[in-house]
Amino acid sequence: MSDSWGAPEENPVANPAAPSHAAGPSTTAAQRPEGPVADWGQPVAFDYTETDVDRQWGSNGAIYEWDGEEGDVAPVNPELELQLFGSPDKRHCAGVDFSKIAEISVSQEGEHRIVPIFKFKDAGLHPIMLKNVEMAGYQTPTPIQKYCIPAIKMGYDLIAIAQTGSGKTAAYLIPILNELMGKAKKLVARRPVSEVPRSNLANFRAEPLVLIVCPARELAIQIFDEARRFCYRTLLRPCVVYGGGPIQEQLQQIGRGCDVLVATPGRLIDIMQRSHLFTLRRLRYMVIDEADEMLDADWHEEFEQILVGGEQEQGNVKYMLFSATFPGAVRAVAREYLAMNHIRVRVGRIGSTHANISQDVIFVKQELKREALIDLMYSLDPARTIIFVNSKRTADEIDDYLFHKGMPCTSMHSDRTQREREDAMRAFRSGRTPILVATGITSRGIDVRNVRYVVNYDLPNADHGGIQEYVHRIGRTGRIGYTGSATSFYTERDEPLAEDLTKILMETRQPVPDFLQQYIPEGVDPKEFKMEDDTSDIEDQAGDAGDAWQTNGPQDGQNAGANSWASGGDAGDGWGAPNAGGTAEDGWGSGGNSNNVDQDDNW
């Protein structure tokens, strides 16, 4: 298709020969597609019956339970192993372009230099943990994992800044759980045996060794699912608590034993106030994931309570902040709570995206957006697709519109009940409804590895997230070695975002459409453009000599490869599928790691 759907009016760089209602013959009524190019499957009606009988909440996922006395690691459980990791022939995590990720620049700062690891087998991991990593489908460490695994293993506090889709969750789970391997029986709190009735669980207090705090409910469930895999056979029991889910059910889960707790801030504060049921006195590791999202002024009081108000022993807790940007709030927490010798690792430019994602920006008149969307969906090969909108009302309207067009879709936004949100995400992960319409609640951290397309039906508002929100949204595709395609509908209302959007396109070597050419900085060659880090994010670190972020990667030979992402190929393939080999061979496949698959792996 062309790069516009309804030419922009009075635009000096638009094609003067094009009519005002359309740009090029590809958008004429006679040539518009009458239906999808391939079978997307049938739309699935949502069951709105409100009943919690036999409901599968995200916090109730199966975990390894061990009550025996056979040493410090537990025996194999084939049935659970299949549920956690999938069948051996489906255990793939990274895409075929994964090796190219090594070409991104890496900077590290601190009193000590970290020698990166280039293979998991060289990381000094416990044999059981190494086996879990293998079964989870991880073959080669990503740049953030190369540095974080040895840094955490050496006992340092850590700040890690990395692009979305770079493998941050495994970067902290693997080394933290590995350090606790073989020590669980000595470190964990007393816990009930499995036969203890629920009514007696109040006699047992949850005392986690690891606390992971993240901003979104879906992200918490996702981290918990990853923790379940890496905790397999370790004798460590993971749990998750989040708002919207039944608190009594979650309290019963942590009452059965909680060594690794994943939590959203609100629900965590609630549980921390129940001191007879929960304490952080045994805590050894605290991870703040998506720190730039959570460490906002509105959350200052709550985070004070989380960071120091949970009875944890100061000096015995290792603090880690994982983020995509490095704003003032993150710097303040680092200065106050992290050890003086903490390590800082930065992968790529702060707040950047990468060239494995093909970006297409299409001008569309506001009143023609729906027609443009259905034309786009009809032209795509069926694959997992996230459509981002800016309002809950629009999410409902587009979900209804696509459903009545016969497209298998579902939707998520903050007015949905937690049950509806979990059901929608489960249906999307399994491929039962491969089209997800969502507001920004899914733009951060959510990892569904086979998302092939992202569509910005609405571009983010410049005053609410802006270009950073755009980067996070398109980062839902092209994750950990896969290639993906992001298509954005640009209207006249999006002009405040135009300059930043143009720079992102140039930085990742994407074609700049005609209507954005005017925003290319004067005298700049788009093919040679390189964005610099926002110094406001790092200025506070420049007070000490040699203590500011490097901008060109380390100078001691530790950086592998060039200082930019390798492109998965020419991005000028319009609406078409990503480059050959960019997706898993099983098409819809869940990456082999989904424990919620309720259909065969052709989806």
pLDDT in tens, 439-463: 987 766 567 778 899 999 999 998 8
Q: What is the pLDDT of residue 54?
A: 58
- Output DSSP code: residue 29: G
- Supply φ then ψ for residue 456, to 5 degrees: -90, 85
Q: Is the pLDDT of residue 238 over 60?
A: yes
Q: What is the pLDDT of residue 232?
A: 94
Spatial neighbors of 557 by CB under 8 A, at least 6 apart, are none
Among candidates 135, 138, 147, 143, which has minimal Cα distance to 94? 138
Give the confidence band of 382 by pLDDT, cuts at 50, 70, 90: very high
Give the confidence band of 559 by pLDDT, cuts at 50, 70, 90: very low
Convert the pLDDT of each residue in 308-317 to its tens digit: 766 787 788 9
Q: What is the pLDDT of residue 558?
A: 38
SS3 206: strand
Q: Is the pLDDT of residue 582 over 90?
A: no
Give the confidence band of 571 by pLDDT, cuts at 50, 70, 90: very low
Q: What is the pLDDT of residue 19?
A: 38
Among candidates 345, 404, 293, which has minimal Cα distance to 159? 345
Same fold? 1-7+19-60+76-105+349-532+563-603, 106-189+204-347 = yes
Q: Alpha-carbon distance 386 to 409, whole Å?
A: 10
Average per-residue pLDDT in the chain? 77
Q: In whole angstroms, how large is the CA radius of gyration of the chain?
A: 24
Lowest mean pLDDT among 6-10, 385-389, 401-405, 474-478: 6-10
Q: What is the pLDDT of residue 53?
A: 55
The residues facing 161 across adjacent strands are 323, 346
Q: Alpha-carbon distance 111 to 109, whole Å?
A: 7
Q: What is the pLDDT of residue 405?
A: 94
Average pLDDT over residues 205-219: 90
Q: What is the pLDDT of residue 3?
A: 59
Q: Is the pLDDT of residue 553 over 50?
A: no
Q: What is the pLDDT of residue 540?
A: 45
Torsion of CA 535, 541, 544, 547, to 10 degrees: -90
- Could you tell me which residue, 239 or 39, shows the higher pLDDT? 239
**Residue 317 and residue 284 in contact, taking contact as beta carbons nearer than 8 Å:** yes
Q: Is the pLDDT of residue 350 over 50?
A: yes
**Residue 317 and residue 283 in contact, taking contact as beta carbons nearer than 8 Å:** yes
Average pLDDT over residues 180-205: 72
Among candidates 91, 14, 6, which has minimal Cα distance to 516? 14
Give the confidence band of 323 by pLDDT, cuts at 50, 70, 90: confident
Average pLDDT over residues 218-237: 92
Burial class of residue 504 (count of CB atoms within 10 Å of its CB; 0-12, 13-18, 19+)? buried
- Could you tell me which residue, 227 or 532, shows the higher pLDDT? 227
Q: Is the pLDDT of residue 589 over 60?
A: no
Q: What is the pLDDT of residue 581?
A: 34
Q: What is the pLDDT of residue 200?
A: 57
Lowest mean pLDDT among 3-7, 196-200, 509-513: 196-200
Give the confidence band of 356 by pLDDT, cuts at 50, 70, 90: confident
Q: What is the pLDDT of residue 2?
A: 53
What percent of the chain is helix, strand and coil (3-state, nearest 5)? Answer: 35, 10, 50
Which one of 3.40.50.300, 3.40.50.720, 3.40.720.10, 3.40.1160.10 gives the CATH number of domain 1-7+19-60+76-105+349-532+563-603?
Answer: 3.40.50.300
Average pLDDT over residues 510-530: 85
Convert the pLDDT of each residue in 241-256 to its tens digit: 998 888 988 998 999 8
Q: Where are the domains of the chain?
A: 1-7+19-60+76-105+349-532+563-603, 106-189+204-347
- Could you tell me which residue, 323 or 573, shows the higher pLDDT? 323
Q: What is the pLDDT of residue 24?
A: 39
Average pLDDT over residues 89-103: 55
Convert the pLDDT of each residue in 245-286 to its tens digit: 889 889 989 998 999 999 999 899 999 999 889 999 999 999
**Residue 234 and residue 77 in contact, taking contact as beta carbons nearer than 8 Å:** no
Burial class of residue 326 (count of CB atoms within 10 Å of its CB; 0-12, 13-18, 19+)? buried
DSSP-derived secondary structure for 236-255? --EEEE-TTS-HHHHHHHHH
Percent of the chain with pLDDT over 90: 37
Q: Alpha-carbon distance 77 to 234, whole Å?
A: 12
Q: Is the pLDDT of residue 583 over 60?
A: no
Distances (CA, A) of 464 to 136, 235, 390: 36, 43, 10
Average pLDDT over residues 53-61: 66
CA 220 to chain centre: 11
Q: Is the pLDDT of residue 467 over 80?
A: yes
CA 448 to chain centre: 8
Residue 72 in tokens: 């410090």
Percent of the chain with pLDDT over 70: 70
Third-level CATH fold of 106-189+204-347: Rossmann fold (3.40.50)
pTM: 0.70
